[in-house]
Homo-oligomer: A and B are copies of this chain.
Amino acid sequence: MASVLPASNTSMRSDRNTYVGKSFVHVKNPYLDSMDEDVLYHLDLGTKTHNLPEMFGDVKFVCVGGSPNRMKAFALFMHKELRLMDNEEDIKDICAGTDRYCMYKIGPVLSISHGMGIPSISIMLHELIKLLYHARCSDVTIIRIGTSGGIGIAPGSVVITDEAVDSFFKPRFEQVILDNIVTRSTELDKELAEEIFNCSKEISNFPTLIGHTMCTYDFYEGQGRLDGALCSFSREKGLDYLKRAYNAGIRNIEMESTVFAAMCRLCGLKAAVVCVTLLNRLECDQINSPHDVLVEYQKRPQLLISKFIKQRLGLCDQTS
């Protein structure tokens, strides 16, 4: 069933466009440069309507997450943390002309929502990568800060992904191209994961660990939940699947990491996935912790990545 196109194999080589030591974000599309105009439809931006190099040329960190409200909150948080001089009220949704995604820019940090699931984040990533390419951005680090279900770890733990795997515990992303299935690597940047993990050591409020992350196409049947509208397996089968996942090194489950890892890798973006776990799936299926507890959990990846960005920018202090 799976056939690998030669073109895709080629794209997997580490052939980043480097120039005077800089690693530029690149596309793997020979047709793009010959286009008169590139409309980034789902971002409501374009090469003729916007000066993308001027708007985005200085971007060095891109943080993405599912929920628009959470990514706005992260932008406001980064604004405070980076102590930028401009007014908080000036932080506007750059994609305000569409309700598909939202986007905020805080100095060198871009904060973007991607909705839920592989197709939704994939549309955003295609257009984001083209945006960074058109803007001639270089040395960009991209981090997904999300929520997930934990396996065998305390709720509220933050998992930094060393390997994104699919429902069959394989480190691969199967991309349908026309009517072929092309298998892509989901390898993430190991040094970046270590660097973020080292930052976590200075935060004592919550546990952080490195582990495999499983990415599924479905929240209910695909993650072994017994509480969906459809459920055709037994409690024992579901638990057995989750235990096998744990034994394979998987510590959390979410719905975007494989395509995120695959696309960023192909386009010269150093990528990390940092997700908090909202529950322990070996114990329950439903997310029913009190609202304020869940809100606090969701701030944890933001706190960690803010620390990482400040450290990279040489802004780290003892107080935060």
Interface residues of A (CB under 8 A from B): 1, 5, 7-8, 11, 27-32, 35, 37-39, 41-42, 66-69, 99-100, 115-120, 122-123, 125-127, 129-130, 133, 167-169, 175-179, 182, 216-222, 224, 226-233, 235, 237-238, 241, 255, 263, 266-267, 286-288
Residues of B close to A216: CB separation below 8 A: 119, 176
**Nearest CB in chain B: distance from A269 CB, A:** 10
**Nearest CB in chain B: distance from A61 CB, A:** 19
Residues of B close to A228: CB separation below 8 A: 29, 126, 130
Known interface pairs A118-B119, A219-B126, A230-B266; A67-B100 also in contact (CB < 8 Å):
yes
Contact partner of A229 among B41, B126, B218, B232, CB < 8 A? B126
Contact partner of A175 among B67, B100, B221, CB < 8 A? B221
Cα distance A69–B97 in the bound complex, in angstroms: 11
The reply to whether B226 and A29 contact each other, CB–CB distance below 8 Å, is yes
The 10 tightest CB contacts between A and B, nearest first, are A117-B119, A7-B232, A129-B229, A29-B231, A178-B241, A126-B228, A31-B226, A69-B99, A177-B221, A116-B120
The reply to whether A32 and B227 contact each other, CB–CB distance below 8 Å, is yes
The reply to whether A68 and B99 contact each other, CB–CB distance below 8 Å, is yes
Residues of B close to A30: CB separation below 8 A: 231
Cα distance A149–B105 in the bound complex, in angstroms: 31
Known interface pairs A8-B232, A229-B263, A230-B266; A222-B125 also in contact (CB < 8 Å):
no
**Nearest CB in chain B: distance from A298 CB, A:** 12
The reply to whether A231 and B176 contact each other, CB–CB distance below 8 Å, is no
The reply to whether B1 and A233 contact each other, CB–CB distance below 8 Å, is no
The reply to whether A230 and B263 contact each other, CB–CB distance below 8 Å, is yes
Output the residue of A116, A224, A237, A255 with the most chain B CB within 10 A: A116
The reply to whether B116 and A118 contact each other, CB–CB distance below 8 Å, is no
Give the oligomeric copy count: 2
**Nearest CB in chain B: distance from A286 CB, A:** 5
Cα distance A261–B17 in the bound complex, in angstroms: 44
Output the residue of A68, A221, A287 with the most chain B CB within 10 A: A221
Residues of B close to A32: CB separation below 8 A: 227, 229, 231
The reply to whether A115 and B115 contact each other, CB–CB distance below 8 Å, is yes
Known interface pairs A39-B288, A99-B67, A263-B230; A224-B167 also in contact (CB < 8 Å):
no
Contact partner of A218 among B68, B122, B222, B227, CB < 8 A? B122
Q: Give the residue name and chain of the B residue nearest to A262 (CB).
A: B230
Residues of B close to A238: CB separation below 8 A: 178
Cα distance A129–B227 in the bound complex, in angstroms: 12
Residues of B close to A125: CB separation below 8 A: 229
Cα distance A110–B7 in the bound complex, in angstroms: 46
Contact partner of A35 among B8, B29, B68, B227, CB < 8 A? B227
